[in-house]
Amino acid sequence: MSVSHFTLPDVGEGLTEAEIVEWKVAPGDTVAINQVLVEIETAKSLVELPSPFVGVVGEILVQPGTMIDVGTIIITIRSHGDATDAAAGAGEIADAAADASSTITEEPGDKVLVGRAAPATMPTRRQRHGGRAIAHETLAPAPARSTTAAVPATSPAASDGPVLAKPPIRKLAKDLGVELGLVEATGAVGDVTREDVLRAATQASVFRNIQTPEWPVDRDERIPVKGVRKAIAQAMVKSAFTAPHVSLFVDVDATRTMEFVKRLKASTDFAGVRVSPLLIMAKAMIWAVRRNPTVNSTFTDEEVIVRHYVNLGIAAATPRGLIVPNIKEAQDMSLLELASALEALTLTARDGKTSPAQTANGTITITNIGVFGMDTGTPILNSGEAGIVALGTIKQKPWVVDGEVRARFVTTIGASFDHRVVDGDVASRFLADVASIIEEPALLLE
């Protein structure tokens, strides 16, 4: 019998510490390769760590709520296997790391979670399309990972067979109090989609409560500044007091965008993919960046670095705080690929499973404050970027068309820029280009 020591790994981007959130095993439990041992929170996101060993849990050395450094031993696992078993287990370690929380990216060159080399052929659960990863997980869950459906045992639909739904959809249904077994599925393969859950929900969003809670008994609540909240605070202070912000605003007739979104939703090409005005906004920004590349820059004391590619950040409000994951190489994506990537990014962020790699190396950001009913705002730049655009709510207002006042769908677009890099004329032209696409999406076809 041997004892293996599992240490806290560097899950990417040079993070040096993390907090133990919840243990998924207990002393005496038998564990297998790929089985989730523990959930940790880094400065970026929640991450599930899989077991690289087969055996029986010995000691749990770090209690939940404890902040520890990378390299700290957190658990021991006793193994009774022989050398052959050990060799077979070692060959699966990289797979376990790559599958952790579905958050570790699959592109060549990424770090393996537990610090071992990946096999020559890395199995993947993502579909491929035209050589590019389509950001849709298959409906089959990862082996050795269990997902609790939101269907009670007494549900009349529970006996009709398993409900097809992706893990993020199951999480959304649980948050909204929706019984998946009672939801009419409209997905391409009979699966429950996000729209199906929202239609069946008694509330519109996981971030809006129908009932107003009573005042707590405690007069003060003290929340430690750590993890994601600490990272947010540091990044916002750095950005606000380092980069001189300049902000611009423009009102836009978005009626044609709303009509375009409606046509896309009815298109068979976009069946099963969420389509919203944010998709058109994202495409508009990519187009405008190509025409005004300075807004896609970063400023250093020695030079201005203009990026001729777009890693498009999407500011996401999650239960654990604001994060900004980004869509890598968005400039090369078709409208359908961009829609798929946006949906996957949003659902992963709301589920708290965004990986550190997904938040790194962004070039420009969108913040969609319209989903909260806000008309506009003055967004703070994501640190290291020179531009951020805020999309306000789209609603009907009186608008003058051909000399007549008509009801049109109108939105306000706000934007902030690093004035060290972006001059007023460039900022104005960029925002005008974005507005022109929102007013007439057909320009995207040029």
Q: Running DSSP on this structure, what letter comes out for residue 194?
A: H
Both tokens of 240, joined, read 């606000």
> Are the C-beta atoms of 319 and 326 separated by less than 8 Å?
no
> Are the C-beta atoms of 194 and 169 separated by less than 8 Å?
yes
Give the C-alpha separation, 324 to 103, whole Å. Answer: 15
- 22 Cβ contact partners less than 8 Å away, ≥ 6 residues apart: 38, 39, 64
In DSSP terms, 398 is beta-bridged to 407
> Are the C-beta atoms of 40 and 8 separated by less than 8 Å?
yes
Give the CA distances from residue 41 to residues 171, 189, 326, in Å, rounded to whole numbers and listed in that order. Answer: 18, 34, 19
Strands 364-367 and 326-327: unpaired
CA 114 to chain centre: 22
- 446 Cβ contact partners less than 8 Å away, ≥ 6 residues apart: none
Q: Is 419 a catalytic residue?
A: yes
- 86 Cβ contact partners less than 8 Å away, ≥ 6 residues apart: 79
Give the CA distances from residue 47 to residues 19, 54, 291, 354, 438, in Å, rounded to whole numbers and listed in that order. Answer: 10, 21, 38, 8, 37
Cβ contacts of 38-42, under 8 Å, gap ≥ 24: 38/74, 38/75, 40/8, 40/11, 41/227, 41/228, 41/320, 42/11, 42/15, 42/17, 42/18, 42/227, 42/356
Give the C-alpha separation, 106 to 97, whole Å. Answer: 11
Rg (CA), the chain: 24
- 75 Cβ contact partners less than 8 Å away, ≥ 6 residues apart: 5, 6, 25, 37, 38, 57, 58, 59, 60, 61, 62
Give the C-alpha separation, 435 to 411, whole Å. Answer: 10
Q: Is 349 helix (H, G, I), strand (E, B) or coil?
A: helix
> Are the C-beta atoms of 73 and 95 separated by less than 8 Å?
no
Backbone dihedral angles phi then psi of residue 251, each to the nearest 5 degrees: -90, 140
Catalytic residue among 129, 136, 308, 419: 419
200: nearest Cα among 228, 187, 181: 181
Q: Which residues are catalytic?
A: 419
